[in-house]
Amino acid sequence: MYCLQPAVRSQITVFNLGSESDLSETIFESICKSFERSSKDDDDEQIKQTPFLKLAMEWNCIHVAKEFVFQNSLDNIPDLEEAFLEALRKDLPLFVYEFLKLGIDPADIFFPSNQFIKGIDRYEKFITKLYNEDELENVETHLKYFIDISGADTGKKIDSVESLNTVLENLIGDYMHKLYFRDEEDEEKDRIKCGLMQNSAQSKKDTIRDTENNKFSSIVQKKQKAKKYIMRDLFLWAVLMNRIDMAKMFLFQLKYRICPALIATKILKKYYSIALYGELKDRYEENIKYFEQYAIDCLDKCDDHDADRACELVIQQNELYGYVTCLQVASGANDERFIAAPACVQGMNNIWYDKLYPEQKSMTNQLALFIGFISLGLMAPSFVKYRENEKDLEVGESPKLKLELHGINYSDPYPLEYPRYFKTKLTLNQYTHHLIHFHSSLLIKFCYHLIFYLFFLLLFSYVLLFNFSPPKAQSPSIHWTEILTIILVSCMLIEETHCFFTQDNLTFWGKLKKFFRDFLKSMTALAFILFYIGLILRFNYADSEEKFIVA
């Protein structure tokens, strides 16, 4: 009855078991209010800093913590760095979001004292804190199954940027360039070696002559780069650890979201492929669908705003994610729904036609393409419709180069007029460019390949059925049709070799696996082997009719 007295009754917290509110939230709120009343008249600053953040994290009471602990300021958190790391390790995305909203910079925590800019091993703290053995042994993730054991190591661990890069290569694919480097110099050397960055020796000389303002601007840019890198790294860490709510929260913080969402589907599909049947595997499948749909929704919004720009986005290299494209990752992850999105379909259609006008479905356009093809492109500039410069140029103004000439640049009108082969005869110059780009179109290349293979099939059939006999004692010892067949097969072998070495994979082993994963490519390689074995037997062991039949 003492508790019901008017002086005490106001301090009682009532909880309704039928309500939707959380009991732990109610208990925690009651504790905080009691502490607030007891310390109201205390001037000790240490006591005023509420000690309940750790308890709030243990009970996951974010709403009460926002009111009584954070109070819209990070000044109320005694050990901010440790609190943020604890929220990451305990998988508390709402707490991490609150930290970020109130202004905490993860780059200051993981790259202290400008370690990202000047540090020798800038990812040491990041790997030590978030990729320790306790995290890797978590049963909620299959990350440990993709960690390679090297050297004298007896266990699977991630303790360096090299091992972390290897894990990402195993999960995503070796078509993605390295993401993690010990320092800026290593990163720059790797990018220059791979042809992704020009040698900056001259720029370094210019930097020495920069003013103080330019130097300050350069430092600011590097700090912004560090922020982008650490948000990317935290997102990838959350996906690798299968902390999906945390990954979603970090994904919302990223500026470019389509590519990382697709990377998440690729990683989770790898996990799904080795997971046993059960709740965890079902969650993998559910999260795969979520990230793929998220990427599709983002792309559809871009498509609604600017269809041409959306087509360029799916084939644009993402520097932050190892220079991969969205279509590369979607293809590697077999994200069929994303690839079937209108922007992706139109993007691939644009690549297919290149500088030719992409809408060629009408009978008139198809007839023009046929005339251009049978005339070996000579009549194409007069009949075939090409892309036009969508930007209105002023009189005397020339288009400027927007994209690299050696890349996918179908949307850039510059190559249709430049370089000027004939400076005084602009009509002839335009005709030459149109002729070159007609033959450069993938559609026309495919038609040439089709005609070539049909001719080869007929020639090969003719040689085998009507003109295949033992070598004669004359020069040449075989018929000219057979010589032509050998030349054509050798050309096909050179083409397949070129195709093999120009694959997206960066390692030879990766190229090998991707090439022979295709059943038709495997059969093609077998056909080449059998052809040349037969050719050797034909000339070395077929000097008589009987041996020729056996060979």
| 44 vs 518 pLDDT, higher one | 518
Kindly state whether residue 151 falls inside one of the protein's structural domains. no
pTM of structure: 0.85
Residue 70 sits in which domain range? 2-99
What is the average pLDDT across 151-161? 75
Kindly state whether residue 501 falls inside one of the protein's structural domains. yes
Kindly state whether residue 150 falls inside one of the protein's structural domains. no
pLDDT value, residue 46: 47
Q: At residue 298, does pLDDT exceed 80?
A: yes
Do 47 and 115 belong to one domain?
Answer: no
What is the average pLDDT across 231-258? 95
| 531 vs 200 pLDDT, higher one | 531
pLDDT range class, residue 42, cuts 50, 70, 90: low
Pick from 510, 176, 167, 504: which is nearest to 319 by CA? 176
What is the average pLDDT across 423-449? 87
pLDDT value, residue 429: 83
What is the average pLDDT across 443-465? 92
Kindly state whether residue 25 falls inside one of the protein's structural domains. yes
Residue after which a domain boundary falls, among 440, 459, 474 = 440
Do 334 and 432 belong to one domain?
Answer: no
Q: At residue 414, does pLDDT exceed 50?
A: yes
| 240 vs 214 pLDDT, higher one | 240
Do 501 and 488 belong to one domain?
Answer: yes
pLDDT range class, residue 61, cuts 50, 70, 90: confident
Q: At residue 202, does pLDDT exceed 70?
A: no
pLDDT value, residue 206: 46
Kindly state whether residue 146 falls inside one of the protein's structural domains. no
pLDDT-above-70 percentage for the chain = 79
Do 259 and 130 belong to one domain?
Answer: yes
Kindly state whether residue 472 falls inside one of the protein's structural domains. yes
Do 194 and 115 belong to one domain?
Answer: yes
- Point out the least confidently predicted range of 257-271, 340-354, 455-469, 479-493: 455-469
Q: Give the mean pLDDT of the chain.
A: 83
Q: Which residue has the tokens 């001037």?
A: 43
Do 131 and 256 belong to one domain?
Answer: yes
pLDDT value, residue 501: 92
What is the average pLDDT across 516-537? 90
Do 187 and 122 belong to one domain?
Answer: yes
pLDDT range class, residue 55, cuts 50, 70, 90: confident
Do 316 and 375 belong to one domain?
Answer: no
Sign of CA dihedral 285, 286, 290, 296: positive
Distances (CA, A) of 356 to 204, 365, 449: 42, 11, 19
Q: Is 72 left (phi over 0), alpha (psi -120 to 50) or beta?
A: left
Do 302 and 191 belong to one domain?
Answer: yes
Kindly state whether residue 181 falls inside one of the protein's structural domains. yes
Do 433 and 449 belong to one domain?
Answer: no
Contact 64, 28 (CB under 8 A): yes
pLDDT value, residue 273: 93
Interval 64-108: pLDDT, tens: 788 778 888 888 788 889 999 999 999 999 999 999 999 899 999
Kindly state whether residue 512 falls inside one of the protein's structural domains. yes
Do 262 and 391 belong to one domain?
Answer: no
pLDDT value, residue 300: 95
pLDDT value, residue 267: 96
Q: How many residues does the chain have?
A: 551
Angle between helix axes 258-274 and 279-305 (nearest 10 degrees) is: 160
Total tally of structural domains belonging to the chain? 4
Q: At residue 550, does pLDDT exceed 70?
A: no
pLDDT range class, residue 272, cuts 50, 70, 90: very high
Do 34 and 10 belong to one domain?
Answer: yes
DSSP state of 476: S
pLDDT value, residue 37: 57
Q: At residue 204, does pLDDT exceed 80?
A: no
Pick from 114, 137, 310, 302: which is nearest to 225 by CA? 114
Interval 285-296: pLDDT, tens: 999 999 999 999
What is the average pLDDT across 202-219? 53
Residue after which a domain boundary falls, among 321, 352, 383 = 352
Rounded Cα–Cα distance for residues 178 and 88 (Å): 24
- Nearest-5° angle of CA 119, CA 226, CA 242? 105
User: 360 forms bridges with which residues in the sheet?
Assistant: none
Residue after which a domain boundary falls, among 352, 386, 412 = 352
What is the average pLDDT across 423-446? 86
pLDDT range class, residue 443, cuts 50, 70, 90: very high
Q: Round to the nearest angstrom and report the end-to-end CA distance of the chain.
A: 109
